């Protein structure tokens, strides 16, 4: 076990100590005289110490060196888990964590209204996540041809290095948009998996919770292509109010390519909804990027003065932060929201520093998943910006959003939730248990992982493509 005899090792180490000590002690006195007088005394003492108990002296010295090496290895990040644990007293390591677990499979399930991602580990456990689904074929390909190879064989507890590798090794294919969207599905699934392995809800791994529930606002797309009439929009808003929502959002979906439309639909729709719901709920208006700064200020003032609208989302293009900045500066009575098209910490930093929106609204299934959203939240906090999570998907995305929203101090007053009775009715049927929505609030799931249960059999039956 020992590389050299205890006796010899002890003598060698004490000899070195003695050689150095007199040198240091003598620095302030006449060198030669001092060394002459101290050296014999030191040699005598060390000899005696080793003869008396060579084994104990050696082990003591050896243990000290081992401790220093372990601490250095931890500090350098080399074998951090093992070295770190060696420093802890036995009682502190009460819950052993199996860190040798490996991810062995990634599957995607493309359904009509969602793309689910399943991550499987070699212990048989699985985690579920969700990708943004603007282009299902692209997401499916991106996950399997771009990201899968960085994840298979890796430890699910390595969410930070895994995120970095998925992002930086595919940087040429991003960095925002599809790359961040695809990473999100895998990242959320891995968080679900590792929390399930520990038998804990995800928020516990995120540092705990600031809240048990978040007020939800009912969100629906009016669509300036006239898919919904003002009367239908009013009926939809009334339906949300009947279901207990106290805030509803009209997504005008004007877009840049219909910039500053004439006639302008916004006031027409808001007037119809306002008449229908009266004081039963607050109205929140999303322009979806369709105004120049001048038009946004003009319409914003009317919305505030005529209907008391306070929340005004993406009035201008996400491609032009100067325009948004102008609106923020001129509409002091309104809260301008932006950030659903920024997908990374760097894009959000650009948005905040250039456009200075009052509230940011990144989406967890677009902005790189839970791992990236925590970083975005920290940046937002440094700029004193609340986060109102963008969330248009009612199952896994909502659950992941709730765990994230519960774990940050700068969560805004509410979180987005879509209409589920028509558009998402089929998707809800693939869930054995889903998030709880009651009296307008979404409740933080308390079960292991994301805390909701997917029925894989039904997901398979509902899928157009499985890989």
Query: What is the side-by-side strand order in the sheet with 115-121?
Result: 126-131, 115-121, 103-110, 465-466
The encoded tokens of residue 438 equal: 């009651």
Yes or no: say if 427 and 404 are a contact pair by the CB < 8 Å rule.
no
Q: How far is CA 417 from CA 66, 231, 287, 313, 397, in A?
A: 55, 21, 17, 15, 10
Does 416 sit near Mg ion (CB under 5 A)? no
Does 318 sit near Mg ion (CB under 5 A)? no
Give min distance, CB of 254 to Mg ion, in A: 11
Nearest to Mg ion by Cβ — which residue?
A: 286
Q: Would you say how long the chain is, in residues?
A: 467
Give min distance, CB of 250 to Mg ion, in A: 10
Give min distance, CB of 279 to Mg ion, in A: 25
Q: Which stretch binds Mg ion (CB under 5 A): 50-58, 120-128, 156-164, 311-319?
A: 311-319
Give min distance, CB of 360 to Mg ion, in A: 12
Give min distance, CB of 398 to Mg ion, in A: 16
Q: Say how far apart CA 151 and CA 158 lie, in whole Å.
A: 10
**Smaller CB separation from Mg ion, 206 or 411:** 411
C-alpha R_g of the chain:
30
| DSSP, res 390 | B
What is the signed CA dihedral for 331, 335, 340, 341, rounded to 10 degrees?
20
Query: In 53-102, which residue ranges form alpha helices assigned H by DSSP?
Result: 54-76, 80-87
Q: Which stretch binds Mg ion (CB under 5 A): 253-261, 281-289, 349-357, 451-459?
A: 281-289
**Smaller CB separation from Mg ion, 109 or 217:** 217
Residues numbered 226-255 forming contacts with Mg ion, rule: CB under 5 A: none
Give min distance, CB of 251 to Mg ion, in A: 6
Q: Among 155, 175, 197, 145, which residue's Cα sits nearest to residue 368?
A: 175
Q: Which stretch binds Mg ion (CB under 5 A): 43-51, 319-327, 335-343, 375-383?
A: 335-343
Q: Which stretch binds Mg ion (CB under 5 A): 104-112, 262-270, 339-347, 391-399?
A: 339-347
**Smaller CB separation from Mg ion, 206 or 359:** 359
> Please, what is the angle between helix 266-277 and helix 293-307, to 10°?
20
Does 286 sit near Mg ion (CB under 5 A)? yes
Applying CB under 5 A, the residues found at the interface with Mg ion are: 286, 313, 340
């Amino acid at each position: 076990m020992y590389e050299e005899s205890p006796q010899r090792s002890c003598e060698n180490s004490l000899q070195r100590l003695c050689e150095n000590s007199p040198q240091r002690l003598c620095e302030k006195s006449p060198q030669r005289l001092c060394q002459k007088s101290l050296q014999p005394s030191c040699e005598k003492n060390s000899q005696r110490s080793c003869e008396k108990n060579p084994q104990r002296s050696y082990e003591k010295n050896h243990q000290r060196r081992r401790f220093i090496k372990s601490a250095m290895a931890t500090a350098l990040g080399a074998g951090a888990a093992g070295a770190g644990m060696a420093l802890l007293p036995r009682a502190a390591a009460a819950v052993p964590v199996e860190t040798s677990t490996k991810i062995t499979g990634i599957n995607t399930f493309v359904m009509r209204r969602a793309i689910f991602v399943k991550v499987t580990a070699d212990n048989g456990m699985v985690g579920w996540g969700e990708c943004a689904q603007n282009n299902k074929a692209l997401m499916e390909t991106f996950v399997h041809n771009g990201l899968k190879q960085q994840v298979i064989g890796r430890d699910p507890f390595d969410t930070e290095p895994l995120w970095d590798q998925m992002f930086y090794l595919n940087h040429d294919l991003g960095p925002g948009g599809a790359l961040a969207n695809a990473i999100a599905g895998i990242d959320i699934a891995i968080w679900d998996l590792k929390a399930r392995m520990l038998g804990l809800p995800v928020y516990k791994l995120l540092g705990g919770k600031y809240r048990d529930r978040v007020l939800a606002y009912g969100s629906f797309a009016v669509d300036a292509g006239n898919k919904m009439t003002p009367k239908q929009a009013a009926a939809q808003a009334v339906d949300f109010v009947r279901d207990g929502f106290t805030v509803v959002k009209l997504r005008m979906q004007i877009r840049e390519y219909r910039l500053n439309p004439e006639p302008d639909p916004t006031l027409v729709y808001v007037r119809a909804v306002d008449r229908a719901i009266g004081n039963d709920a607050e109205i929140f208006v999303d322009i979806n990027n369709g105004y120049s700064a001048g038009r946004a200020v003009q319409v914003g003032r009317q919305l505030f003065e005529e209907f008391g609208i306070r929340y005004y989302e993406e009035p201008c293009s996400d491609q032009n932060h100067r325009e948004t900045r102008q609106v923020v500066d001129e509409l002091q009575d309104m809260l301008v929201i932006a950030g659903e098209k920024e997908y990374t910490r760097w894009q959000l930093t650009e948005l905040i520093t250039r456009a200075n929106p009052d509230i940011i609204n990144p989406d967890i299934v677009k902005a790189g998943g839970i791992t990236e959203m925590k970083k975005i939240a920290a940046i937002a906090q440094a700029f004193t910006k609340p986060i109102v999570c963008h969330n248009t998907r009612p199952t896994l995305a909502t659950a992941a959003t709730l765990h994230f929203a519960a774990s940050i101090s700068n969560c805004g007053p509410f979180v987005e939730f879509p209409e589920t009775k028509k558009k998402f009715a089929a998707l809800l049927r693939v869930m054995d248990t889903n998030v709880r929505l009651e009296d307008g609030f979404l409740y933080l799931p308390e079960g292991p992982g994301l805390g909701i249960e997917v029925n894989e059999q039904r997901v398979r039956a509902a899928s157009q493509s499985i890989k």
